[in-house]
Structures are given as C-alpha cells and as structure tokens.
Structure 1
Amino acid sequence: MILRDIMTPISETLITGDTLGRAVILMKQFKINVVPVVTKQDELYGVFTRTSLSDMIISGGQSNDSIDPYVVRDVVTLNDTTPYREVESLVKQSHVGTGIVIDQHLKPIGLFTKTDMISALFEQTKSLSHMLEQILDSSHLGAIMTDEHSTIIYSNEQAKQFLNKEELDGLCSLEFFPEVENGMVKQVQMEGNHFIVRASNFDRELNEKGYILFMQDVSEVEEMASELKTVQGLKGLLDKAMEHAYDGIVMVNKKGNIQMVSPPLCELFSIDRNKAMRKHVNEVFPQLNLLSVFQSQHAEVSDFLEIKGIKYIVNRIPIVQDNEVIGAIGKVTYRQIDDVKKVFKKLELMENQVDYYKEQLKQKDSSRFRWEQIITRDENMKKLVRTATKAAKGLSTILIRGESGTGKELFAHSIHSSSGRQLKPLVTVNCAAIPEQLLESEFFGYEDGAFTGAAHKGKIGKFDLANGGTLFLDEIGDMSLSLQAKMLRVLQEKEFYRVGGTSRVNVDVRIVAATNQPLEDLVAEGKFREDLYYRLNVISLQIPPLRDRPNDIERLIEHFMESFNSIIGTSVTAVKNDALTYMKSYHWPGNVRELSNVMERAMTFAESGQIQKEDLPEYMLRSIEESRYAQKETRMDYEWEAIEKALAKSSGNKSKAAEILGISRSSLYEKLKKYS
C-alpha cells in the first residue's frame, strides 16, 4: 500500500492572488479544511486553512480580497508513492494535522490527514485479520487465543472440531489443557482425536499476557515426517549423482533460482559452488540461456559455445507439471566423449583452416599484435605499456631491451599497430638468423648481376619493403660492424645504395630495434658502434623479466590455458595448488616464452582436467628443489655463524650465549648437537 491509495484526492487548487470568495467555494465544494496554493508556474506555494479563513474574516476581509497574506507557508509535503510504513512513521512524528500529497512533477494532487491514517489503519487491520483467518482455515491447524485469565477469546472451526465443541469462545482453556505454559509442546488424545498442542504467550494491554495454542493432527505430522525422510533420501542420492556427474548439470526452480549444481560445471566456469546456490541462473550462468525453455516448454540443444578455449553444448530441459513449467535442467556437455569429440575435431579443423588463411591474408606485411594482447597485472609493466603507447604516436627510433622470451616482438608489433603508420608495412629482420654475408643484400637489395648467383632482375631489400612503414630489427646486437656503418648512414640520410648499384634510393622508414644484449658493454668492447647506439637509443623501453613480475604468472597461466584449450583440443580447467606453488617458485629464465611452452606440455599430459605437479617438466621440478636446498643450507650457515659469535661474546658461557641469541638454553643445546 502506498500514499496514493489512502489520500483524499483534490482536482483543483488555489493560485497566488486568488480571492477569499474562491477559497470559500473550494472548501465548501470539496468539504475540506485545507486547500493547496500554487504559483502561476504550478509550484506549491503554501496552504489556505480554515484557520486562515477565520483570521481573514475577523480582520474584515471581503470576498474579492487576495488570500496571499493569510497563506501558511510551513507545509509538509509527501510523495504519492511513499510506502504506507513510512507514512505511518511520519504521521507519528509530525505536529501538522494535514500533509499535501505531490506527484513526481511536484504538483499537489491530494491531502493526507490523520483521519485518513486511522481509516487506512482500520482497513489494513480488517484485511490482515481476514487473511489470518483464511491462513488458519486452510492450514488444517486448530487455533485458540486466550486472555490473561485463560478465557478463550478466539477459536477457529478446526479447533472446535478437535475438541468436539460447537462454541469455544468464553470457555476456560484450562478445562481442556490444565497445564499451559509458554513453549509447551505435548500430545493430547481427546474424544477420539489425537493431536499435538503447541502453546506460546503474547503481550496484551497493561503488560498482561495471553496464550495462543495451535493444534495439529498427529497423523499429518507423521505423514509429513515420513515424506520428508523420503525426500531427504532422494536428495542425498541426487547430490551424490551431481557430485560424480561426468559433465556439468544445473537445476533451477520456477523462479530461475539455482537449486542444484554439479562441481564439474562450477569448475568449467570458475564459479564457487556455495556462492552459486539459490542465486538466479542468469546471474551465475548467463551463457546457458536456460530460461528460454520456460516459454517454449520444449527441450532444446544449443549451438557450439566456448569458454577458456573449451567447446561445449547445452541441453536445456524443462520440468513440466500439470502443463506448467516448474523448473528446468541444464546439461552441459564438454568432455571429449567419442561422438562429440569427432564433431569437435571436424569443427576445429575447419575453423583452424579458415583462421589460418584469414591470418595469413591479414598478417602479410602487417602487425599481428595489439596492446590489449599484453597480459599483465604488474604496475611497472602497465606503466611501460602506457609509455610505449605514447612513444608509438611519434616518429622517433625506439630501442626495446629485455631478456629472451619477455615479449620484445609483441611490443614492436603493438607499437606499429598504434602508430600513424599502421596501414603501411611492418617488416621484421632477425639480425641473428641471417648469415652475415647476406645481411647487406637483405637490407638494401641488389642490382642485376651484382654477384654470382644473384637473381636475373635483381631484388629489393627490407628497407624498400618497409618504405612508409616500420622496420623491426630484432637482435640488433648481432649485426656486423661493417653493416652497422651503412645502417647509420640510412638512419641519418634516409637514403642508401643497393648492392652493385650506383643510384641512391630514398626511403621513409621508422626503426624499432630490439636486443637481449647489453649494448653499452658491446660499445665498450668495440663490438657495436657508439654513434649507432646513440642513434638507436632515442627512446628506450626495458621489459622486465617474468621473475620480477610474480603477479603476472597466475594471470598468464589462465591466458595460456584458454588459448591452448582451443589450439590443441584439451579440456583443462584449472591448475592444482601443488603445481601452482611450484610454478610461482620457479625463476623462469626463459620468461613468458618458457611459461607458454611449459603450459602447452603440462596441458597435453594432464589427465584429470587439472594440471598437477607431475605434469610439469622434470628440469623445472629439479631446479626448484635444488634452489630450496641451497636456501636451507644458507640459513643453516647464518644460524651457526650467529651461535659462534654469541659463544665468543659470552666466553663460552652457554646460558649467556642463549640469552644473547634470545632462545632458551635447551634450544641452544639442541642446535649445538645439530651442528656437532
């Protein structure tokens, strides 16, 4: 119930400047003591009350005099959608007899008085009393209410049947139940009826207490208990079946709230089973679209869906009772059973072929990566990405540093894809992979007949191919000194000569270089030109190794799990705690590339759908064990050194040495025995 339902509606109001005569007409017409007064803009200005009317008449006011000086401005307003309980609270606290009810546009639409409140309260009380009687009659419970003297003041028909009385009101309850006390529960046999009585007291006026007694047929209780036991047994069996179900199962009621869900389904979607229970299925598993069968009332099978790289299908089954859908079951099939596996393999083969040709077409002389493909939670890495994104917008040469496997190529591609040259070619040259004698011709191309074996019509080089775009020089530290000199000229003059050629070729190329070597040391050793180093090192980006980004390890594991599930057709959903602990402890000398390789291997060998410690490479496990042993040896060395110093300081007095070390004397003796 809201205020609009219990207010006194009004269809007309006074306007500032209205006369006493119009005020009298409205009060008489609507039989009200208060009339809202609004401005010409329809905003509430105040109220004109019967007291205002009396004051105006006493002061000699005429019918055509303005009411404005007598308008009461202190007005209590209530929104028409205010709930009944809130209205009740406001009325108790307010000193004003009448409130003005306004709509959402702040326009007065009614009045609310304490008389309205009393009427509403009376109606609600009658309604509640009627509902209570209906509930009691339909519950098969006998109900008796007594006053403080145990005299029955209310009884329903069921109570009269239990006690074989045509009328109970006015009788003493002690006649039937001699020992009544609060919280009493007892079985009673009377006139062939066998029932259970429950008693509780309630507060009456003047701190007096009466009793409420409920009676229920014993046979009904026994039948309910038997049914409950049967249902509990069935539920136990169903719970066991759900726990050991090979695929995912979820069951919802007619409201769409989850009643049961199997562990494999929660594992697939990385959902906490306890948190999923009783929640709406669209909130927890929106991908399943389970509620669609409530309209169709027919079982459905979804198309192929995907999560974490795992393909799955959903069987949606309505639960129908008396031609009404009272719930639904969702069966999610994702394990690679024979029939489904064949379908998956065919689909994946076709998808991989299509993706391959699309990727080949898309990636020819273009960047393959974007910034969003850099997976990180590390704040320093995020800052580096922001810096690189800004640097990408300019034209300056960029030098990317980092250990092997940290993602230097990924950064280079992302720089090109977010630069103004993204529609132009990105050409990659691995300076370490091309033989030194071919590097010059690869970079600058050659003319017809430039050397023995040269192509008949000559060949253009990487600089020609990258003209207008970006040239990515990977492993720049492996470039020969002779080629470094020519590279410096191209960077400075923007021109070069092809091998065997005599004409200059002008190019517009942005250089992005990468190295895992310390170029400063190579410069000091005379293996890298200092002038080229400064020409390349305009903007330097240092990518941190994976061991300095421990927070990224678990995030990258999730990423590779999803990726490899799709690529190699596995259904791995998680990494067990023991394996995860080892992976977090490992120092990852091969960085992200090594982590990718380890994940691919582990997912290939994982048999239970989860990666275990045994699925990790042997060299990795051995390295971690050796590291732990070395740490233990180091701790023991430090401990013995501390004991020696304490003994020396105390001149061999073990009690004083123990005091210096902050340990008990018995602990010191144990450690001395341990170190012999």
Structure 2
Amino acid sequence: MLQFKDIITPIDFIVTEETTLKEAITLMYRKKWNLLPVTDSSRYPVGVFTRSSLHQMVTEETPLTTPIKNYIKRHVEKLSVNTPFEKIEEIVKNSKVGTGVVVDDQNHVVGILTKTDMVMSLLQTSQELQTITKLKRTLETAIDHAFDGIVMADERKVITMVSPPLLELFNLPIEEVLNKPAANALPHLQLENVYESEAAEVSGFLEINGIKYIAHRIPILEDGKVIGAIGKVVFRQLNEVSELFKKLQKAENKANFYHQQYQQAETAKFTWDHILSVDPWMEKLKKSGAKAAKGRSTVLIRGESGTGKELFAHAIHNSSARSTGKFIVVNCAAIPEDLLESEFFGYENGAFTGARPKGKLGKFDLANGGTLFLDEIGDMSLGLQAKLLRVLQEREFYRVGGTVKIKVDVRIIAATNRNLEEMVKEGLFREDLYYRLNVISLNVPPLRHRPNDIDYLFGQFMIEFNQILGTSISGMEARAREALLDYDWPGNVRELRNVMERAMTFSESGKIKYEDLPDYLLKQVPIKETTLNVSMVENAELEAIKKALVQVQGNKVQAARLLGISRSGLYEKIKKYKLG
C-alpha cells in the first residue's frame, strides 16, 4: 500500500527568518514552489514565505539583501508524516491551499506536499489498484478452475478464498467456509500450524469418505512475518502413489496372503456390522438373527436374490457358540446334481470311477463342530432332500460307497429365493424337510421396500469404491440420485453395488452424473411430469395455499392462521411451490 512519506517532496535546504529576498527568489525559481517553509536553526517550523509575500516585497521595491522575517506568515498548516493516506486524500481534496508543510514525530520540517504530488500519487494508486484487481481476478479464476483443492487465509487466520473442488471434497457449502476462521471451517487441514512454525508442511495420507488426500500447508511471509497461509489439498493425482503403495503392501504381505485366503474359505467373514441398513425392519431382523444365533436350531433365510441372505448366515455363525468352528458353504444350484451327494457326504476309496484313491471328506465332515450353510436349498433334488432330512434327524450319515456311520455335530443354515410353500404343493420340495428347515425363519425384505436404505447405501458404497478403485467421487448430482431412488432394484443390494461401481468408474468429475448410470436402468426409470413435479398430496396442499392467500387477499399471517400452520411454515411452503 502506498505510504504518505513516499509521495511528499523532501526539503534539502534550510530557510530561516534571516534568509534574504534574493535567496528566497532563487529557491522558488529553482524549486518551482509556491511557498518556502521557514524554520529556526533546529528545523522547527516558524512560518512560511509565500509567493504573495514575495510579490509584496518586490512591489515595495525592497532591497534584495533584506531578510524575509517581516513578510513571513506565522500561521502554518502542518501535516504529520504518519498521517493515513486516506486522510491526506480528504485534506487535499477539501483544502484551498495548494501546498502543505510536512513534519516528523519531533516536529521537524521534512518536506512539503503539493496538490501535484497528490494527483500523481492518486494516479499511481489507481494503476496499482487496477493491477491488484486484475491479479485478484486472475487468482480467483485459477482457484475456481484448480484441479485440486486450494484455500487461502489472511493474517487473522480467516479464510478469504476457497476452490470448488475443496468444497466438493469435504461436502461443505461456501457460506460455511468463506470468511470463517480456518480452525473452525476446515479443522482437518490444520492450516493454523504454519502461523506458529512459519515453515511449509506436508501431511501424511488423510482420508474422507474413502478418498485419500494430502494437505500442503504453506505460510505467506512478508518481512519475516506470517501474513497469511495457503492450503493445497491433493486428492486427484494420488492414483499413481496409491498404486505404488498397494504394490509395496502386496510385496510385504504376499507370504500370508494365500494362507488368509485358505482360512477365509472355511471361515465366516461377515458380522452384523457388515449388514448395512438404516431400515427399522432390517434392524429388527438383525436382532432376531442375533437371538437365533445363540441356539442350535436350523435357520431358514428367505428373500430375493441379492438381498444379503449370505451375510445373515455369516453373521449368525460369527455370533454363535460355534464361531470358532468352520463355516462351510454349499451352493446347491452351482454343483451338478450327480456330484451333490459326494460333495455333501464325501466318498470312500474306490467308491466310483474317477474317485480319488484315498477317498474324500464331504461338507458335513468339514463342518463338524461348526456350521453348514446351504445356499439355494430350493434347487436340491428330491433324492438328496431325503438324505439331508435323515442327517438332520439322526445327526449321522454314510459316505458314498461306505458302510460305516459317521456321527456329526453340524448346525444347518439354509437360504432360498424360491417359494418353498408352492414347491411343496407341487411336489418339488419335501414337506417334512420344509418343516425341519423352517424352525426359525428370517425374511429379508427386497431393497425396493427399504427406500431409506437406497440413499444410505449410496454413501457407503461410495466410500468403499473410492478405496478400491482409487477414485475421488464425493457426491452425486440430484438427477442421478432421483433416477436411482425411482428404480425398482430387482437385483437388490447386489445390483445397487454393481451400479455404483460402474458409475464411479465412468464418472469423469467429482460427482456421479445421470449419464454415468447404465442405460438399462435409465430406460426403466419412470419419466416424471416436468410441468409440476409434485405428488397428489402436494397438489392438494398447493391448491389449499393458493385458495387461502386469495381469501385473505395475500395476507400471509391470516393465511397461515386459516391453514392452521405456523407463519414460518407457510413461508417455507410458499418458497417450495414458488408462489412469491
């Protein structure tokens, strides 16, 4: 900022009361000044010798050697060298005098200020302001279009600029950040650290909503003092770093990776916390499942494909007394019928052509002391159903080709997406087995009956896939969200998870857009009326508000009273329906 001391005309001579007329004329001519400051020997001001004083002495034919002391104007308008620039502007604009005497803190004359000086300084200031304005506009444009997040704070640690990508990453509206203390608005960045350290810092890997980011904190220094700080949040170029980090982890963990995979093949991987839901019925179902887990009764889990039946089976095993035992999974629809019996019960040496010489243990053998999960139980053949029933009743079986009874202690959890009651009526499923399996039944509702879960799962899968895919998706545009909420989800949670993975892979911005969703889904979403996008209930509400406003001639207080709602509630509805 331009200082007052920078625009004054300094004095490099001394004029006293004893200065002669000739000396005064010479100085005025050489300096092109309208007045000369007159001081004593210590440079304290005693008055001014003006051009009118000079004119008077010449008119009176005063000798050139005459001292000017009798023609000095003793009243001096002084300006302190520390006067704020804005005040000087005002003084010069309103002053009738073209020149002023400037003094320092000791009241010594140090220079004069002319209106010419002021005009030139104002011109310079204007040019500087134009340059600053251009720079500010350039900086704002650069920040608005920055690929990563940028934030700037001033000497008071208050945020003065912030880029849209940073707001998007932290899901913050600009009014909660701009002109707010950095420590309150963006505490995770710890921008205030550099005001104390006066040194640039780089954070380690941080994470929000599954998106990894690094925060650079840079102090802005002037004359050795911190006058602000810049924060740069890098989160969109970390894919390469993440890949290197993953490779390092893989190299370090390769030795135990396959061992873990082997263990997981016979271990329940999921708990109740893995069943993501905010639906009240699902929460009740999880509590029922947790109670069922404490006993040893057979559990039948029913529901459409993709609702998470297997997750319930895993969670029941993990919260049971058998949690230290093995959890063996058999998909009855995936194994050929002629191999199902040997898969279940194993076989003895030489039981059939192609059998292993030493025989093979079956799933019941492997699950002994633990849990056997029979997925898609409705696809099991009637012959195998009979043998399964016998095992459930007698807790013993024969291996294929064997003659020795094998005793087992296995808990059965079964799951199906088929209507077993109809299958029983049609003779496709044994009635006695149905009742044996249906001791405790858990019916997992489809996703279309859990609208709150749809919105909730968007956010959960976004966090998960940001970590898996190395993406930086921080949200979803309104149109895309509406399309997903309006879709029926025949494939349930499994389909939703696949759609989110696909959309996040195809997204080219920080948010999932309508066009990122698969075409098959968009074709099945019902087209909404664009003229009035409200439901029948909202239509009725809109008409009631219109009639009330007409009836009371627009008086909103009376209209609210007539409708039986609060005034603030009426204002909200007027804003919602764009009535004024």
TM-score normalized with structure 1 length: 0.58
- The structure 1 residue matched to 2:241, chosen from 322, 335, 343, is 343
1:365 equivalent in alignment to 2:251: no
Q: Output the aligned Cα RMSD.
A: 3.4
Counterpart Cα distance in 2 of 1:192 and 1:382: 85
Q: Distance in 1 between matches of 2:182 and 2:260?
A: 37
Distance 1:291 1:468, change over 3 A: farther
Q: In the alignment, does 2:239 pair up with 1:303? A: no
Q: Tell whether 2:570 aligns with 1:570.
A: no
Alignment of 1:94-113 (within 5 A): none
**Deviations 1:97-125 (Å, cap 9, x if unpaired)?**
xxxxxxxxxxxxxxxxxxxxxxxxxxxxx
SS in 1 for 2:192: helix
8 Å CA contact 1:519–1:528 kept in 2: the answer is yes
Equivalent-residue separation in structure 1 for 2:406 and 2:76 (angstroms) = 111
Identity of aligned residues (%): 57
After superposition, residues 119-268 of structure 1 pair within 5 angstroms as 188-189=94-95, 234-254=135-155, 256-268=157-169
Q: Which residue does 2:17 correspond to in 1?
A: none
**Does the aligned pair in 2 maintain the 1:162–1:193 contact within 8 Å?**
no
Q: Which residue of 1 aligns with 2:540?
A: none
Which of 502, 511, 520 is matched with 2:403 structurally?
A: 502
Partner SS for 1:513: strand
Deviation at 1:342, TM superposition (A): 3.1
How far did 1:593 drift? Answer: 0.9
CA separation of 1:387 and 1:343: change in aligned 2, threshold 3 A:
same
Residue in 1 aligned with 2:302? 401
Cα distance change on mapping 1:536 and 1:225 into 2, 3 Å: farther
Alignment-mate amino acid for residue 382 of structure 2:
L
Match of 1:618 in 2: 519
Distance 1:469 1:162, change over 3 A: farther
Correspondence 1:600 to 2:507: no
> Which residue of structure 2 lines up, in the alignment, with residue 549 of structure 1?
450
Q: 1:587 aligns with which of 465, 488, 513?
A: 488
Letter in 2 for 1:307: I
The letter of the residue matching 2:240 is K
Counterpart of 1:325?
A: 226
Q: Is the partner of 2:502 in helix, strand or coil? A: helix
| Contact 2:239–2:470 under 8 Å retained in 1 | no
- Structure 1 residue matching 2:374: 3-state secondary structure: strand
Q: Which runs of 5+ in 2 are unaligned?
A: 1-74, 79-92, 101-114, 537-580
Tell me the CA shift for residue 359 of structure 1.
5.0
Aligned residue type for 1:515: T
Work out whether 1:450 is the aligned partner of 2:351: yes
Indicate the SS of the match to 2:357: coil
CA distance in structure 2 between the aligned counterparts of 1:394 and 1:476, rounded to whole angstroms: 21
Paired with 2:453 and 2:480, the residues of 1 have a C-alpha distance of 16
> How far 1:341 moved relative to its partner?
4.1
Counterpart-to-counterpart distance in 1, 2:235 and 2:331? 42
Instruction: Point out the more displaced range, 517-526 or 327-336.
Output: 327-336
| TM-fit CA distance, 1:536 | 1.1
Indicate the SS of the match to 1:396.
Answer: coil
SS at match of 1:438: helix
Q: Distance in 2 between matches of 1:396 and 1:162?
A: 107
Q: Distance in 2 between matches of 1:596 and 1:445?
A: 36
1:445 deviates by 1.0
Task: Report the AA paired with residue 379 of structure 1.
Answer: P
Change (3 A) 1:286 1:502: farther
Q: What is the DSSP-based 3-state SS (H/G/I as helix, E as strand, rest coil) of the residue aligned with 1:290?
A: coil
- Higher mean Cα deviation, 581-590 or 353-362? 353-362
How far apart, in 2, do the equivalents of 1:162 and 1:432 lie? 107
What is the CA deviation profile of residues 109-159 of structure 1, one whole-angstrom value per residue up to 9, with x for unaligned ones? xxxxxxxxxxxxxxxxxxxxxxxxxxxxxxxxxxxxxxxxxxxxxxxxxxx
Q: CA deviation at 1:603?
A: 1.8
1:439 counterpart (334, 340, 347): 340
Residue 279 of structure 2 is matched in structure 1 by: 378
**Is the CA contact (8 Å cut-off) linking 2:177 and 2:186 kept in structure 1?**
no
Aligned to 2:441: 540
Indicate how the Cα distance of structure 1 residues 445 and 256 shifts in structure 2: closer, same or farther if over 3 A, else same.
Answer: farther
Counterpart residue identity of residue 166, structure 2: L
CA shift, 1:291, in A, is 3.2
CA distance in 2, matches of 1:332, 1:523: 62
Mark the runs of 5 or more structure 1 residues left unpaired by the alignment.
1-160, 165-186, 195-216, 636-676
Bigger drift between 426-435 and 370-379 goes to 370-379
Q: Give the 3-state SS of the residue equivalent to 2:195 in structure 1.
A: helix
8 Å contact kept, 1:571–1:609:
yes
Q: Which AA in structure 2 matches 1:495? A: E
For residues 519-544 of structure 1, give each alpha carbon's deviation from its aligned partner in whole angstroms, at most 9, with x where no partner exists.
11111111111111111111111111
Query: Please, which of 479, 484, 487 is the counterpart of residue 380 of structure 2?
Result: 479
Q: Quote the Cα distance in structure 1 between the aligned partners of 2:344 and 2:179.
A: 66
CA deviations over 1:404-450 (Å, ceiling 9, x no partner): 01111111111112222222111110010011111111111111111
Q: What is the SS of the residue equivalent to 2:525? A: helix
What is the aligned length?
Answer: 427
Give the Cα separation in 2 of the matches to 1:551 and 1:163. 77
User: CA 1:350–1:404 in structure 2 vs 1: closer, same or farther (change >3 Å)?
Assistant: farther
CA offset at residue 260 of structure 1? 2.1
Whole-Å Cα distance in 2 between the matches of residues 628 and 495 of structure 1? 63
How far apart in 2 are the matches of 1:228 and 1:575? 41
Q: Does 1:289 align with 2:187?
A: no
The verdict on how the C-alpha distance between 1:369 and 1:254 changes in structure 2, with shifts beyond 3 A counting, is farther
Alignment of 1:459-478 (within 5 A): 459-478=360-379
Paired residue secondary structure (2:227): strand
3-state DSSP class of the match of 2:333?
coil
Q: Contact 1:446–1:459 at 8 Å: present in 2 too?
A: yes
**Is the aligned partner of 1:530 residue 2:431?**
yes
* 1:319/1:394 CA distance change after superposition, 3 Å: farther
- Structure 2 match to 1:144: none
Q: How far does residue 591 in structure 1 lie from its aligned partner after superposition?
A: 0.8
Residue 392 of structure 1 contacts residue 416 of structure 1 at CA under 8 Å; is this kept in 2?
A: yes
Q: How far is 1:257 from its partner? A: 3.6
Corresponding letter in the other structure for 1:346: L
User: How far, CA to CA, are the matches of 2:291 and 2:96 in structure 1?
Assistant: 91
Between the aligned partners of 1:617 and 1:263, the Cα distance in structure 2 is 27
Q: CA deviation at 1:349?
A: 3.6
Provide the C-alpha distance between the structure 1 equivalents of 2:288 and 2:124, rounded to a whole number of angstroms: 70
Report the Cα offset of residue 285 of structure 1. Answer: 3.3
Alpha-carbon spacing, 1:282–1:504, altered in 2? closer, same or farther (3 Å): farther
The whole-number CA distance in structure 2 between the counterparts of 1:281 and 1:352 is 38
In 1, the alpha carbon distance for the partners of 2:390 and 2:264 equals 30
- Alpha-carbon distance change, 330 to 524 in structure 1, aligned in 2, over 3 angstroms: same
- Asked which structure has the greater RCO (Cα within 8 Å, sep 6+), the reply is 2
User: Displacement, 1:239?
Assistant: 2.6
| Residue 559 (structure 1) aligned to one of 447, 450, 460 | 460
Provide the secondary structure at the position in 2 that maps to 1:376. coil
Counterpart-to-counterpart distance in 2, 1:568 and 1:349: 14
